[in-house]
Structure formats: structure tokens, C-alpha cells
Amino acid sequence: MIPIQQHYARRTDDTLRRAIARFDRLAPELREAMEYGLMQGGKRVRPMLVYASADLLGAGQSPVADAAAAAVECIHAYSLIHDDLPAMDDDDLRRGQPTVHKAFDEATAILAGDALQTLAFELLAEQPENAADTGRRLRMVQELARASGYGGMCGGQALDIRHEGKAIDRETLERIHRHKTGALIRAAVRLGALCSPTLQEAELAALSRYAEAIGLAFQVQDDILDITADTATLGKTQGKDLVQQKSTYPALLGLDGARRLAESLYQDALAALAELPYPTHTLEAFARYIVKREY
């Protein structure tokens, strides 16, 4: 974890705690399950990207950046809760702790994921301070909806399930992961950029290319770690992809080939950042972290 990521993680956690604290006692177990799924830990990768992108454009201290960072983490947490269910990946561990359906039950886990998804859009859509901000908030809602729905994360997950146990080519594997994993990472970077009222479309395009490269690199490195790391380090079941006969980059390209692809994507990310007329050290460091991390 790069040092500034800890600062961004604390800001995200503070916003999430405030959001959960607003709920009354209508359904205490559901509220507890939502908090459990949100606050288990994790690297807060996607909120960090929101903040770093917003900071780059001078908007990192704005309330809308806090809302966007928390919203994208709510979507990520909901997706993990549902991915872990028996009908999906059937995992017992997440971040070294029992998954939500194990700590509670399947019905509560489903509802917790549903409620976190809707909380994300509530946070983004809350009354802005002025009319100009309203337009940006609407664009951000649309961005997150596209990234998390049919044309993004859900569609990618459906493709992944459909091709489980089947031999697929690299093009299909990339299509799966650009949607399942990459779409939300891309949205996080773009949401941060959209926090700035002075954002230029050329800047957004460069940041999008950066995000697309690191989004795919993130999955490539995940595939590598599923082979090279142990369960204690990963915080989830090691080797699960192999057991479920999922196509992965190491399976398709070999371990060395997968590592070369991750490095190539890292260079693509740096090239995209080089187009921006700002100091991009934080985003560069994050791209490096993606391909060097060991958990």
C-alpha cells in the first residue's frame, strides 16, 4: 500500500461510517451485515483512485469527492458480498474473515448487497450546493450506473460464469475482465475527475486510458497471485480459480507471459499520464503498486 492510500482509506472509512450511522433500527441485522461487508478492511483501491484523480485536478478536498469515493466503495462491497454467495463463487473467506453469508445467512447477504448498491446512488445524488454541481452529480450517477450494471461489472460477471470450465481465447478473457474488474476501476478514476468543475474532455480521455490499463493490470496481477500467494496472504481461498476451472492470464499465457503483460499495461498507464499537464506522482505510484503488490 502506498503511504497516501492510508490517508484516503481513512477518509473513505469516515464517510462510510457516517452513512451507516444515519440508518435507524428498522432492520438491525441487515444494518450490521452492511457494516460488516463495508468495514472488514480491504485496500480501498477504488476510493483511492477517486481521490487521487480529484486531487490531480484540484478537487480532492470537496464533499463531492468524499461522496464519490464512498459510493464506489459501496458498489465494490456489494459486488464482493454477492460474488461470495454459493450461487456465484461460493467463498467462505474474504479478507481473512468469514464472508457475509457465512457470518449471517444467504438472505441477509443478498439484502446487504442490494442495500449497499442503492446507498451508493443515494450518496451521489444527495442535494448538491448549486445548479452547476447538479449537472456534474447527474453525470457521475450515470457513470457509476453504467460501470456497475449490464454494460460493466454485472455483464462481466455473467460472461465469467458463462465461460467457467471452458477454454477461451485471450480476446474473450480480456472482454470479461475489462467489464468485471476494469469497469469499476475506470469509473473510480473518472468519478474523481468529474469532481472538478474545470475538467477538460482531453484530460478525462487521458485519465480513462490510464484507468483502462491499470484496471486490466489489476486483474492480471490477481490471477498471478492466485497461483503464487497463499491463503493467509490473500485473505481469501488460494487456488480457487484453478479449482473452478476458470480461464486466467497465467493459464493462457504462462506465468512469465502474464507478468510481461502486467508490465506492458503499466507502461501504457504511464504513457497516458504523460499526456497530462500536472504532476501525476500519486497515480504513477498507484500503477506501480498494482503490478508489484503481493496480496
Which are the contacts of 121, defined by CB distance < 8 A and separation ≥ 6?
71, 141, 144, 145
Which are the contacts of 111, defined by CB distance < 8 A and separation ≥ 6?
30, 33
Q: Can you give the pLDDT at residue 236?
A: 52
Q: What pLDDT, in 10s, does the model give residues 103-123?
A: 999 999 999 999 999 999 999
Distance between CA 57 and CA 123 in Å, rounded?
22
Q: What is the residue extent of each domain of the chain? A: 3-292
How far from each other are the two terminal CA atoms of the chain, in whole angstroms? Answer: 10
Q: What pLDDT, in 10s, does the model give residues 18-31?
A: 999 999 999 999 99
Q: Can you give the pLDDT at residue 214?
A: 97
Residue 198 C-alpha cell reads as: 474545470
Average pLDDT over residues 245-267: 91
Q: What pLDDT, in 10s, does the model give residues 186-217?
A: 999 999 999 999 999 999 999 999 999 999 99
The b/e string for 238-270 (b: 16+ C-beta within 10 A; e otherwise) is bebbeeeebbbbbbbbeeeebbebbeebbebbb
CA angle 208, 209, 214 (to 5 degrees): 95
**Total-model pTM:** 0.92
Is the pLDDT higher at 105 or at 135?
Answer: 105
- pLDDT-derived band at 239, boundaries 50, 70, 90: low
CATH architecture for the domain at 3-292: Orthogonal Bundle (1.10)
Greatest alpha-carbon span in the chain:
53
- Choose the most confident range, by mean pLDDT, from 130-134, 182-186, 286-290: 182-186
Distance between CA 201 and CA 216 in Å, rounded?
23
